[in-house]
Structure 1
């Protein structure tokens, strides 16, 4: 959107007209959904639309305009819907404090441990 030399104080609406698959790919990349989540989503029907709207905290979300029931019909999981609701009300400053649910998919191979386990294995070296 920066290529439009748009004044951020003025409202800007964009309409993307596309095929269902391309729309799903766009949403997947925007919201960082996994391939598995993407595959569960339904393609858009003829003349069907999705509205990404800027939430109160400055994050775009599908939950601002659409209901939970609509998002379930599209194939979104309850976790995806919860993330959309968070985005609808999130503050940009708390984005780093929010640990997205999808990160677990990347780190599920790491064993859970507490500090005592790490110290007892001598793999923990305190910084001086």
Structure 2
């Protein structure tokens, strides 16, 4: 079994934080640069997959759905599922820019995993839902003989890190020491020899306080 994790391409919210004041998070579109990023990522994934078929699981947010479409994987995608458990961490509905800055500061001070946003989720909440998704995915691959052995997951930065945290049982300290992948950056998780392997580590902005490592 193999899981390819891909962060969505650049969206309007990544270059204009005031966009969250007028457009719901789930509806933010890709930027022109984001569309180019997604097309370039598609070429990389087509080379990685060859003729292999995949099951594509995608966050229902517009920026993730559009990214998947622009990958242009054609009939390599044997089944496509919009999966709400892969959505971005919930920050609430239309966001006030002043309150947003306060929440970001508090989250940085308290920790990205346990701090619950005033009108949304904590990282721990996202961790719970990605654990549910991973468990169901493993069961599908094991018991559904028609399910492709490779799954493509198009999601968000923090969600992608938490998927790996659950898969590899990383500590909270280690998780909070990692940076999000860049837009359209991917990671490949492969099950071999009775355990999961990560093709390459995430960038770290500090050493993990508890001394644990990714690999």
What is the TM-score normalised by the length of structure 1?
0.47
Structure with greater strand percent: 2
What is the TM-score normalised by the length of structure 2?
0.30
Higher relative contact order (CA 8 A, sep 6+): 2
